[in-house]
Amino acid sequence: MVIERKKNAAPVIIKEDLSYKKLEEDGWTYKRGIITHNLDEKEQLLSPQKNYNLLTKNNKDAKVDLKVAKELAKKEQTSFIFSSEMDHIYKGNKAFNEFADIIMEIKQYA
């Protein structure tokens, strides 16, 4: 997470990166990215692209919901990944369940 504080202003979360490793029988897997969000990135709401595709599945409403969640996080100066708006998006997508479970578990401590 990258947090920036401008002169005489509240801190702003500029970049968030959530990744994980999985423990398997033969050891830990390589680190895999779940979501990377960069506030300054205008074109790409989140990466990796494959997870963006899982969340949106060519669903126009999901794409709009992501844009709204990004703007609300920006306005409220809060986390995009752990926002309540994103909870709705994660939980409404069965293809993203494995990652949604990880995010919800971590959110309890965030």
pLDDT in tens, 9-38: 778 888 999 999 989 999 999 999 999 999
DSSP element (H, E) containing 27 = strand 27-28
- Measured from the Cβ of residue 55, the count of other Cβ atoms closer than 10 Å reads 24
Could you read off the pLDDT of 40-96 as tens digits, one per residue?
888 888 999 999 998 888 788 888 999 999 999 888 888 999 999 999 888 888 888
- The structural domains of the chain, with segments of one domain joined by +, span 2-107
Interacting residues of 34 by C-beta distance below 8 A, sequence separation 6+: 18, 19, 20, 51, 99, 102, 103
pTM across the whole model: 0.80
